[in-house]
Each structure stands twice: as structure tokens, then as C-alpha cells.
Amino acid sequence: MKFLIFSDESGRWNATEYYIRSWLKIAASQYNLVEKEVFYKKYKKNVKELKWDKFKTNYETFKSIFDLDFEVFVTISKLSHFQSRKYNIIEAIKTVEFPGIKKQRLVEKIRERVTYAVKQELFFNYFEKQHIENSVKALLPNEKPKDYDYFADNPQYRDWKDIAKECGINNVNIVEKSEECPGVELADVVCGCIYDITKGDKKAKTIYEECIKGKMVNMNSKDVPNPNLIFYNNFSDKEKMQLNIFR
């Protein structure tokens, strides 16, 4: 195994302005150093799990972790793009009748629940799939699937592993206890920082400039620029300018 890819998410597919994924590429030969540094720093500050809020609060202690050798790629979806699209199956659900159920309130409740489930499937099989595919294009363009392993923090979608395999990733691991996986912990730090920057957090911006920006790969790529806006053509010029804060 040549490379390990770790990923985490910020935002919820149906409840926030942005859905963000971070991807960390670490050489398998270097990962032991990352583990040692993260575990040592957590022990030093008596932190059980290194998440973005803990990193931000104890920045002076944890920032040296980013002196280690790894690369960062970020993918961003704007949820209003997903919600505003017209899906034939959603339109069909609005007209479905339920024989035997006379109360309109109950009919509407069933439609609402079915619509929610269908939208979730659509988002993760369409938008999330693009997040995953683009991470492979950016971080592993010339690598064979047998040469890398993906690790994702327990995701919002139960079939995430299957979607990743559809993207050509043979080795996929779902991490149930992120406090035991430093790569995923650092992925949480990155996507949490990026998410807070989109909300105008000045400290997050400083941390990004000092720790993360120098590790961002493909920033000038024409095919998969970093940060990567999922379905780029859906973004208006104004939206693109709003997200030009990472350059």
C-alpha cells in the first residue's frame, strides 16, 4: 500500500448552506509519524478526540502537527443547487395516492417522508459520488486502486462504501471510532476549518493560512482545482467570488 486517504465531512446534506469534504493523502510510510504526533499532543492536552473545535481552542499546542508531510484536497457542494433542481421522481411522489388512507394530513406526512428518503438517495448517489470521484482524480491520477486505501469517518449515508467502490476505489474502510484514527481526526480539523471560513470566522482563516493552505494540492489545476466546487457550472459568478477566499 503506497498511500492512505482519510476523509471527513462538515455540514449536513439537507440542513446547511454547504456540504464540505476534506481529503488527506498520506504516504503509508509516513503515517506512523502522524499517529505518534497526534496521540502525543492529545495526551499532552488531555484531549480524547482531536476535532476542529479542540484544535482551534488549543491551536498553539496542535499546530505543529501540520508540519508533517501530507496533502490536502477539499470538495464543496452548495446545497441550494441540489434543492433547486427538478427531479422527475420527486414530482411524481407529489401526486401519488394512497388507497385506504382517507386523512389528507396522513397522506401528506407519508409523501414528506418518502420525499426525504428519495432526496437523500439522490444527493449521496449523485452529488456525494462526485465528491469522491474528484478526490481520486486530484490525489491519485496515476495510481492503481490496489496502491491506496480510503478511510472515511462514519458517514451520514449508510451505503457510502458502495458508492466509493463504484468510483473505482477497491479498499474502503468506515471508521467507527475516529479518536482511534489520527488521519480522520485531521480530516475533521480541515473540513471544520474550511466550513468556519465560509461563515466568516477570522480565526479559522488565520489557521488556514498558517497550517492548511501550504498543503492544498491542485490549486491551479484546470480539471480538478482545489478547493473543488462540485458541479462547478452550477455556481454563479457571485458564488464563485464568495468562495475565492482560499486563494
What does the pLDDT read at residue 94? Answer: 81
What does the pLDDT read at residue 95? Answer: 81
CATH match for 3-246 among 1.25.40, 3.40.5, 3.30.1460, 3.30.420:
3.30.420
Residue type, 45: K
Cβ contact 19:127 at 8 Å? yes
74 strand-pairing partners: 22
What does the pLDDT read at residue 153? Answer: 97
What does the pLDDT read at residue 195? Answer: 97
Q: How far from the centroid of its chain's Cα atoms is residue 130's Cα?
A: 11
For residue 225, CA distances in Å to 40, 105, 167 come to 34, 47, 19
175 strand-pairing partners: 153
- Which pLDDT tens digits describe the chain residue by residue (247 residues)? 899 999 999 999 999 999 999 999 999 999 999 999 999 999 999 999 999 999 999 999 999 999 999 999 999 999 999 999 889 998 898 888 777 776 777 878 888 899 899 999 999 999 999 999 999 999 999 999 999 999 999 999 999 999 999 999 999 999 999 999 999 999 999 999 999 999 999 999 999 999 999 999 999 999 999 999 999 999 999 999 989 899 8
Q: How far apart are CA 199 and CA 174, in angstroms?
A: 29
Cβ contact 169:35 at 8 Å? no
Q: Where are the domains of the chain?
A: 3-246
Q: Exposure string (b/e) for 64-88, b if CB count within 10 Å is 16 or more?
A: ebbebebbbbbbbbbbebbeeeeee
The three three-digit cell numbers of residue 29, written as one number: 510510510
Please, how many CA atoms are within 13 Å of residue 38, restricted to the half-sphere of its CB?
Answer: 25
Q: Exposure string (b/e) for 167-180, b if CB count within 10 Å is 16 or more?
A: bebebbeebeebbe
What does the pLDDT read at residue 109? Answer: 84
What does the pLDDT read at residue 104? Answer: 76
pTM here is 0.93
Q: How far apart are CA 151 and CA 8, in angstroms?
A: 9
